[in-house]
Structures are given as structure tokens and as C-alpha cells.
Amino acid sequence: MNRRTLLQSLAALPLVSVSLSLLPGRRAAAAPAAGQPPAPASPPTEKELQNSWKSLLDADADVATTTEPLKLTPAEWKRRLTPEAYHVLREEGTERAGTSLLLEEHRAGVFVCAGCSLPLFTSAMKFDSGTGWPSFFTSIAGVLGMTRDLQLGVPRTEYHCIRCGGHHGHVFEDGPKPTGLRYCNNGVALRFIPKLSSGSAPKAPPRPGKLPGKS
């Protein structure tokens, strides 16, 4: 190859890549056809919901910021919890269907463990299952432990808070997209924290005498 041919080959290279990007097939994938409305935005994936859960929480919200185990004696738990929450969280009880105020909770925010304030679910993960218990199709990542439960003679998957070990509910495989799962949670085992500030609102000053992130 002489010098002149080499220069001609090099000069031709950018033209090749430009012409490839202008091929009709490639353009069709990138933009809707003329006169067509843009395709509706697809719903967020499970990963996106799990990665963005902090956007539904105010910066000064009273939540646990660590999964470091919280171990208390039964007497200490009794002082800390209502009798109903103690029965569910510490004795694997089940609240009566249709009794939770959280069934009608539709504000944006985060659901934390009533025992230890660890964030477990967000409003974006909640759906109306019609069962009478607050239901979610996924959870915040890494906050739930699972066990096989044979209490009713049929194997079920029990789940609990990974920080305090408190029982929350059972997970079933009849939930909606994108996971097909239904986390059937006792409302009394949860505390809801609504998001009060919008992203651009000025932050409230820290409350005196309170350490951030402690529960």
C-alpha cells in the first residue's frame, strides 16, 4: 500500500461510520415514526424502585440507618410496642383482615418496621391486593429474612425484619408485575412515614437533642 492509498483509506473511515448510523433500520429504533405520539414511559423496574427508595424519604426522617441487629428482652419489647404489634412482631401473630389504617394510606412515603424503624417498603411498591392486609410486590433490598413456615400444614414463606427479627407476614407468588410476588404484611408491624418535603424545599433544621438515624 503506498502513502496515497493509505491516506485515502483513512479519509474514508469516518464516512463509513456516519453512513451506518443513517441506515433506516437504526433510525426506526431510536425515534417514533412521524405523526405518531411518543411511546408511554414504561413503569419502573424492580431494581429502579429498590435503588430510588430514598427519594421517598425526607432527609431528617426518624429511621434506622443500619441493619446492625437490635436484640431486646421480651419485657423490653413489651414496653416498646403496643400489645397488637408485640403479638404480631414477637409472637408471629396475624392481625384481623381489613383492620389496618395503612390499607387506605396512599401518600408518597416509606414503610418502616414498627419494632426497629428499619425502612422495608415504599409507597411505590404498594398495591391493593383486596385481601385486607397491606400488600407490596417487592421490598427494599436486603432488609427481609425468609423462613419456611409449616404452621398451617401448607408450606408458606414467612418473612421478618433482618434487623430486629420481628415477624411481618408471608410472601406469595400471586402478585402483580413486575415481580409476580405479594408481600402480605400485617399493618400493625409497620409505621408509615409520609414524605413531607418536595425535592426542592429547604431542609428543616435538625431537632435539638436528637441524633440523626437513631431509633
Give residues in contact with Zn ion (CB under 5 A).
113, 115-116, 118, 161, 163-164, 166
User: What is the rounded CA–CA span in Å between residue 144 and residue 167?
Assistant: 10
Q: Measured from the CB atom, is 163 or 182 closer to Zn ion?
A: 163
Q: What are phi and psi of 164, to 5 degrees?
A: -105, -5
Closest distance of CB 63 from Zn ion, Å:
11
Q: Does residue 184 carry a catalytic annotation?
A: yes
Kindly state the smallest distance separating residue 70's Cβ from Zn ion, in Å.
7
CB 123 within 8 A of CB 134: no
Q: Which is nearer to Zn ion, 63 or 161 (CB)?
A: 161
> What is the C-alpha separation between 5 and 135, in angstroms, rounded?
69
Q: Distance between the two ends of the chain, CA-based, in angstroms?
A: 75
104, 189, 95, 94: which is closest to 139 by C-alpha? 189
* Residue among 116, 161, 164, 184 flagged as catalytic: 184
Smallest gap, in angstroms, from Cβ of residue 136 to Zn ion?
Answer: 16
Residue 202: DSSP 8-state: P
Nearer to Zn ion, 62 or 178 (CB): 62
191 grid coordinates:
409505621
Q: Given the complex with Zn ion, which of 137 and 159 has the nearer CB atom?
A: 159
Q: What is the largest CA-CA distance in the chain?
A: 90
- In this structure, what DSSP letter does residue 203 have? P
Report in angstroms how near the CB of residue 78 gets to Zn ion at its nearest: 16
Query: Which sequence positions are flagged as catalytic?
Result: 184
